[in-house]
Each structure stands twice: as structure tokens, then as C-alpha cells.
Structure 1
Amino acid sequence: MFTKIHRRFSHAQTLAIGHFLVILTGALLLMLPIASQDGTVTDFLSTLFTSTSATCVTGLIVVDTGTHWTFFGQLVILLLIQIGGLGFVSIGVLFSMFLNRKISLSTRSLLQESLNVDRVGGVIRLVRKALLGTLLFESIGAILLCFRFIPDFGLVTGLWMSIFHSVSAFCNAGFDILGSFFGAYCSLVPYAGDVLVNMVIMSLIVIGGIGFIVWSDLLEHTYHFKKYRLHTKIVLITTLILIFGGALLFYIFEKDSILAGRPIHEQILCCLFSSVTARTAGFNTVDFGFVRQCSALLMCVLMYIGGSPGSTAGGIKTTTIAVLFGSLVSKVRGNHGINLFRRQVDKDTVSQSANVLVLTLLLATSSIMAICAMQDLNMLDVAFEVFSGLGTVGMTTGITRDLIPASQVIIILMMYLGRIGTMSFAYSFFEKRNVPAIQNPVEKVMVG
């Protein structure tokens, strides 16, 4: 299937078109009367927004998932989340494996780009591990959540709640269906002090967000840190710094505000959960419409960074920010090259990281200005929404439902670009060219 498509399109174009077709299919299915609680046709923009958010594992919504959609509608959303989390190419390869079909080199190469890994060799084994790992972790998460949701909602509803939230958390999607019981758009606020729910959801988010490459490395070398690949070391250390650093700052900013009056264990859970979920998951246990501006800005930074390459997460990725920070430190110290964990980072990686940073900031800034020009909204709220979409996070201060159609289209585009990758989308418009034999002379330009 992918071989035939690739004959006409490049890898980047195939990924862009494939995601678009999945989103469009999901939007059309959600328009069916059977998908909505009142049995009517939901307008196309709302279904397109929801389908994009689910496929791009974001979590931003214009209608409440628990109260607006029927079981059929929620099932469609869950399937879109699973396809978006694993990638439609991985799902296609899974079916090919079941049918004992040979995986062509072209498909392997496409899979390599889809998973954002550095080599074609071993990519099929990586997919198998990813699929088995996904099934294992989502199953464990669902079983653990059953201990809370079945007593609260009954056997059938509690089981569906457990499965839905486990998949949504592992895929870093942030969709919830608790609105029908606790009020629309409540997310996990009713369980802010529940240790079981918080720990299970946070664990699934982190495991899904560190990436399939890291899984493989951890499985192969277990706890021998020195044997890990440089990529794995960077991901693990950066993830820990962001989780605990973000939680500490959130506590400092909110201890006398939104956290005031809560039991100490709930304060700790809220801080850790907010730090974890801000990096692409989209669930929330506190109402971010009432946090201080410094906390909202902190969340924007965490959403912008996101998770790790080759994972279910979005953002510019932990490795990108680590490489750029390493480059900054190296330049300040006057060192030659960038050395991390006794390894020198490739110069092309540094250049790629800088390109991603510039392009995403340009997109985010343009989107914020465009929405603010069309609507009289608080700029920080708009920035929060845009970074949430671009980072495929799904957190909001509550303005999503106030966006006019044109603003919704901008957020849809941000979610789409955030999932397929801004650089991948840019590559889809241009063919890679060989380095010319004759190049222009080099001249230095003063910067800084």
C-alpha cells in the first residue's frame, strides 16, 4: 500500500497526506447522527476540530467528549487517538505483518521517518516492540484504573472509563469522558487528590512520552546507564529535570494561590501532575483559567518543549532543547563542539535543532498575532492555546469554546503541524537537492 503511494509522493508528503486523510475520515464519522447524544449531525468544523485533536493526540475540544458524544462517537475518538499515538504507518505495517506480507525497503524507510529514528535497520523490530509495549502498558493502566472507576461508575461504565483514559494517557492525548458525571470540561479535577488515578495517569504519560527508541534501549541494557545510547541519556535526564523542575516552580508560584488550602499530599500531586501533563498530555487536575500569569507562562514553556522523538508526544522535543542548551554552554565556555555524556553531538543535529526552534517560534508568534487581531482575547490566554495546539498538549485556560471559526482553523493547523512536525511539513513542499559542485564563497556575518 505505502509502496504505491510513495511512487508518487515523498516520505514527508506521504506522512502529511496520510494524517490528513485519517483526520478527514474521523471528522466524517463524527458527523453521523449516531455519534452525538442528541442524534443530530454535528457541524463539520466541530468534528474536524475534534478529529484533528484526537489524531494529533492533543486534547483540545470545542464540545465536551463525555456529554456530547455517544459510545460510538467516543469509540471513533479513541481509535483516532490510538492511530495518532502509534502513527498510521505503524498501524499499516501491523496489518501487513498479520497478513504475512513482505515489508518493502520503501515502507521501512517511510516507517523510519514516521518514528523519527536514525536508521532503517531494525525498524521493524522496533515497531513490534512499540506495538507490544503499547498493548502491555495500556492494559496495565486500564486494569489499575478499574480499581477506582468500577466502584465509582459500575462494571460496564467503569471498565470503559478505565480503557478510554488509559489509552488517552499513554498516547498523551488528554481526552476524558468524565463530563457526564462531574460536569462538562472537568478533566481529572474531581480526582486531584486521588493517589492511584494521579500516579497511573502520570506514569502512562511519561512512558508514552519518552519514545520507543528509549524503550528498546532500556529493555536491552536495563539499569546500566553507561551502556545507553546518547539519545536515551539525554531524554531521561532532560525529562527528569523538566518534571521535577516544573513541579517545583509551579509550587512556588501557586502555593498561596490555587494550591492554598489543599492537603499537602494533594498539593504535591497537583504540582507533579501539572508538570507532567503540560509536556503534551492535556489532562488537568487544577483549573488553569485561575492560575497566576507566571504559572501560565511556565506551562507555555513546558508545552513548547514537549516530549521526546519517536514517541506519542509532541512539542519541539526534549533532545532539541538539550542540544541547543548544550550548544549555548559550549559557546560560552569557548569549547570546540558540543560534548554531552562524553560524546560529541553531530553539527547537523545542532543545525536541525536551531531550524526547528526558529520555525516553530515563527508559527506560534504568527498564530498568536492572527488570533489576537481577529478577537479581543487576553494575549497570554491565546499564547497558552497556541502553544497547547502546536505542542499537541490539549491544556487550555478555557477560551477554546470562545474561538471564532477562523481562530479554530488556526488551532487546527497548529495541532496538525505539531503532530507531523513543522520541518517534515516544510520538507513536503521541496525536494531534497544534491550539494552543487560549485558553491558560493564563504563570508562571516557579525551576529549577537
Structure 2
Amino acid sequence: MKKKQLPNRMSPPKFLAIGFLSIALIGTLLLKLPISVEHGIHTKFIDAFFTAVSAISVTGLTVVDTGTHWSTFGQIVILMLIQLGGLGFMTSATWIALMLNRRISLRERMILQEAMGQYQIQGIVDLIRRVLIYAFTIEGIGALLLTLRFWKEMPLTDAVYLGVFQSVSIFNNAGFDLLGSIHGPFTGFVAYGTDPVLNIINMFLIFLGGIGFIVMFDVMEYPKCRKLSLHSKVVLTVSALLIGIGAIALFMLEFSNQATLGPLSYPQKIMASFFQSITSRSGGISTVDIGELQQSTQFFLIMLMFIGAAPGSTGGGIKVTTFAVLVGSVITMIKGKRDVVLFRNRISEAIVYRAVTLTIISLLLLVGFSMFLSATESKDFLAILFEAVSAFCTVGLSMGITTDLSEAGKVTIAILMFLGRLGPLTLAYALNRKRYKELYRHPEGRIIIG
């Protein structure tokens, strides 16, 4: 009798954590099957596990080349993991239940509320329906456009397969690609750095996947209601500023670097700068060799990766809304004011505390894991820090050290990817718990700051 009650007593964060880990282990076992790899290739368990975690966390870091190491079956397994990780396995399970006309229980609605980062449970099932419609529509349009582009250089069936895989991967900000089978292992999209059609399609897919479904809904409803929520205003404004500032910084820092933007024409430099600015916040694909960037540029990308995408999106990081609240808090303190105000709306102290807490915990985790990796890996510290931030913020960019990681390094990066995908959700739930009314308050004390 007690065993039957255990699942009902499991908190939503625990349920999500166990669910993600279970899917990662199932994916690992599937990738270990002989049918999952090309003929004559053997896959270590740690490599299969690393790939499965990278896919379910929609990160994109790889220790083996996706296009040449895995068979079609293995690539489809990875694609399914990406889709489950991007939408969330509870969202996918809800879709199946709705298809079967099964009623969604209150507990399942609570877990969906947690997974989607919503403050209320009302309308959560309708939200899931819209999420699935929007996601599959965007992925479908992206697949069609990419297919038409790849059809120019390969048979139609190959173009369709590549278009579908890349559309799902890029929209979910996963960073996996199959281009190693065309241009050589781990080449990625570098060969298409001057292709305006492919660059524009990919930038739009990354951007749409990174702003979050709530913002998409608001934008679609804007012509009717002529109003955007505060959340959407903050996400769109901060995202636009980060993209613009990032593109300008990348253009200036890499303008004369012959290994990156140097040989390109002015329009191509601008396009490549915008692409790296957009993808560095969670996209995971790149049209330049990240390892050849200036150290100042690499560190700048670390900051963009740490900020990440929007809440409720397929991206990671501390989120643009958290960054906005932090910046607003600094401005409020400098001006000597009391309240943090964004778009003429006062932000509650509880939200400010959550933003500070989430940022500090994320920084502490990155510091600790980076120190451990610096002890296990004989690599430059900047490259190790870049790898750690990319993993925890589920970005997928790398300076080229992923394939050289030790066994301990692979496990560490896998843990970072898992924490990065799940950690903010768990923390948000813990910080959103109902607070009991304190019966007394301690006397106020003063300490010196600064």
C-alpha cells in the first residue's frame, strides 16, 4: 500500500529529474546497440551516455561525430531525445494522452506547470496544445526551407532527412548536426559561413526557439489585443540588445582575425557576427572555428552563454529575464531608489531574491566544476571554463576539447549538462514554495559593504 503512494508523494522536481535521467539511460542503451553505429565502429558506454545526456539536455556537445559515427537508427534516437528534451517529456506525454482522449489529472497538471515554469495551473493543458502546434509548425517550415537549400547539393531523399534533422536540432537549440558526413567530422556549419540563405534560416530557428513559447503566443495575439505582457517586453528587448551588442563586439574583436572574420567581405563579416551573437546564447552551432577566436572574444562568448535564452524556451543559461532583473537592481541601487522598475512595473522583492539566488548558485556550480576539470584535464583554463559554461548553460559550443576529455571529464560535463537542463526548474520550484508567516523578526543589524 505504501509503495503505491510513493509516486503520488513525489514532488514535481524529483519526478522531472527521475524522468529526464530515465530517458537518458534508455537513450544510452539504445545508442549502445550495434544497429546504432556505422559498421565496424564500437561505442564506449561513457560516450553513449554522454551523447544521450547532451541530446536530452539539448546541449550539443559531442565526443564522437554525429554524422559519421552513428547510423541512421542512432541518429533517429538522438533526434527523438532532442525533441523530448526540447519540449519536455511531460509535454510529449501529454500530447500522447490528448491524442488518446485521456483525461489529464491534477497531479500531471502540477508537473506540467513546473516543467513550463508557469505561476498558475489554470489553462496549462491548453498551453501545452499551443506549444506542440507552434513547435511542430516551426520545425516543419524550417525543415522545408532547409530541404530546398540542401537539395541543391544532394539527392532529394538525403536533403529531406538532413533538413528535418537540422530543423529539429536547431529550433530546440540542441546544436547537433550531420554535416560531418559531407565535409568531414566535426566541421559543422563552418563550410556554410558565407551562405546567406542557410544563415538566415538558422538564425530565425535559433531565435524562435530561444525566446520561449509564451512570448510567441503574445506576439501572435498582439494584432488582436494590441498589448504585450511585461515578460514578453523584457524578453524581446533584452534579447534584441544582447544580439545587437554581441554582434558589434564580435565584429570589432574579430574584424582582422584571418582565422575567422578577416578573409570575409563586409556583408559576410556582419552576417557572421550576428550569427555568432545569436547562437552563443544557446544555439550551439557556429559558422566560424570557436577555437580560433581571440581570447577576448571567447571570454565575451562565455558571458553571453551564461545569460542564455528566455524562460520557457528550449535554451539554457540563467535566462534573459534574470539578467534584466539583476541589471535593474544595480541601476536602482546606483540611483538610490527603493524599487526595481521595468517598463513602469515594479518587480517584487521575491523575484529579485530569486534572480540573485539563481545567479549565485549557478556561478558557484561553475566555479566548483571548472576547478575540478582543471585538475583532471591538461587543457588551457579558458578552454575548460568555456566548456563548463557551454555545458551548464546547454549551449553546445566548444573550443575543441570535448573529444579529448578524460573519462572523469566526460562524466563531469555530463553532470553539468544534466544540472543545467534541470537545475533551474528545481530551483524555481524550491523558491516558489508557499512561505509560512513568521511569528517574529530578528532585530535589524548593519554591516559594511564595499
Give the alignment's TM-score, normalised by structure 1.
0.95
Q: Quick one: structure 1 residues 272 and 354, their matched pair in 2 at CA, closer, same or farther if it must change by over 3 Å?
A: same
Q: Which residue of 2 aligns with 1:285?
A: 287
Q: Does 1:236 align with 2:244?
A: no
Q: Which residue of 2 aligns with 1:271?
A: 273
Q: Which residue of 2 aligns with 1:403?
A: 405
Q: Quick one: structure 1 residues 25 and 439, their matched pair in 2 at CA, closer, same or farther if it must change by over 3 Å?
A: farther
Q: Which residue of 2 aligns with 1:255?
A: 255
Deviation at residue 264 of structure 1 after TM alignment? 2.0
For residues 74 and 165 of structure 1, the distance between their equivalents in structure 2, rounded to whole angstroms, comes to: 11
AA matched with 1:244: G
Contact 1:307 1:317 in 2 (8 A): yes
RMSD: 2.0
Deviations for 1:361-403, whole angstroms, at most 9, x for unmatched residues?
0011111111111222101001110010011000000000111
Q: Which residue of 2 aligns with 1:183?
A: 184
Q: Does 1:312 align with 2:321?
A: no
Q: Quick one: structure 1 residues 301 and 58, their matched pair in 2 at CA, closer, same or farther if it must change by over 3 Å?
A: same
Deviation at residue 440 of structure 1 after TM alignment? 4.1
AA matched with 2:32: M
Q: Which residue of 2 aligns with 1:361?
A: 363
Tell me the SS of whatever aligns to 2:162. Answer: helix
Q: Does 1:168 align with 2:183?
A: no
Q: Does 1:117 align with 2:118?
A: yes
Tell me the SS of whatever aligns to 2:164. Answer: helix
Deviation at residue 443 of structure 1 after TM alignment? 2.7
AA matched with 1:115: M
AA matched with 2:181: S
Q: Which residue of 2 aligns with 1:336?
A: 338
Q: Count how many residue pairs are aligned between Structure 1 and Structure 2.
A: 445
Tell me the SS of whatever aligns to 1:344. Answer: strand
Contact 1:116 1:309 in 2 (8 A): yes
Tell me the SS of whatever aligns to 2:282. Answer: coil
Deviations for 1:28-53, whole angstroms, at most 9, x for unmatched residues?
10000000002554111001100010
For residues 191 and 111 of structure 1, the distance between their equivalents in structure 2, rounded to whole angstroms, comes to: 39
Q: Quick one: structure 1 residues 350 and 247, their matched pair in 2 at CA, closer, same or farther if it must change by over 3 Å?
A: same
Q: Which residue of 2 aligns with 1:380?
A: 382
Q: Which residue of 1 aligns with 2:59?
A: 58
AA matched with 2:341: N
Q: Which residue of 2 aligns with 1:412?
A: 414
Q: Does 1:108 align with 2:109?
A: yes
For residues 389 and 261 of structure 2, the distance between their equivalents in structure 1, rounded to whole angstroms, comes to: 24
Tell me the SS of whatever aligns to 1:153. Answer: coil
Deviation at residue 430 of structure 1 after TM alignment? 13
Q: Which residue of 1 aligns with 2:423?
A: 421
Give the alignment's TM-score, normalised by structure 2.
0.95
AA matched with 2:242: L
Q: Which residue of 1 aligns with 2:128?
A: 127
For residues 189 and 279 of structure 2, the distance between their equivalents in structure 1, rounded to whole angstroms, comes to: 11
Contact 2:68 2:181 in 1 (8 A): yes
For residues 381 and 5 of structure 1, the distance between their equivalents in structure 2, rounded to whole angstroms, comes to: 44
Q: Which stretch of the first structure deviates more once superposed, 153-162 or 417-426? A: 417-426
Q: Which residue of 1 aligns with 2:439?
A: 437
Contact 1:126 1:216 in 2 (8 A): no
Tell me the SS of whatever aligns to 2:291. Answer: coil
Q: Which stretch of the first structure deviates more once superposed, 203-212 or 428-437? A: 428-437
Q: Which residue of 2 aligns with 1:13?
A: 14
* % identical aligned pairs: 40
Tell me the SS of whatever aligns to 2:318. Answer: coil
For residues 205 and 386 of structure 1, the distance between their equivalents in structure 2, rounded to whole angstroms, comes to: 21
Contact 2:115 2:425 in 1 (8 A): no
Which consecutive residues of structure 2, in runs of 5 or more, have no partner in the other structure? none
Which consecutive residues of structure 1, in runs of 5 or more, have no partner in the other structure? none
AA matched with 2:309: G
Deviation at residue 84 of structure 1 after TM alignment? 0.3
Q: Quick one: structure 1 residues 430 and 114, their matched pair in 2 at CA, closer, same or farther if it must change by over 3 Å?
A: closer
Q: Which residue of 1 aligns with 2:349?
A: 347
Q: Which residue of 2 aligns with 1:81?
A: 82
For residues 316 and 50 of structure 1, the distance between their equivalents in structure 2, rounded to whole angstroms, comes to: 23
For residues 71 and 4 of structure 1, the distance between their equivalents in structure 2, rounded to whole angstroms, comes to: 41
Contact 2:354 2:431 in 1 (8 A): no
For residues 175 and 182 of structure 2, the distance between their equivalents in structure 1, rounded to whole angstroms, comes to: 17
Deviation at residue 438 of structure 1 after TM alignment? 4.5
Q: How does 1:25-64 map to 2 (within 5 A)?
A: 25-64=26-65
For residues 441 and 39 of structure 1, the distance between their equivalents in structure 2, rounded to whole angstroms, comes to: 71
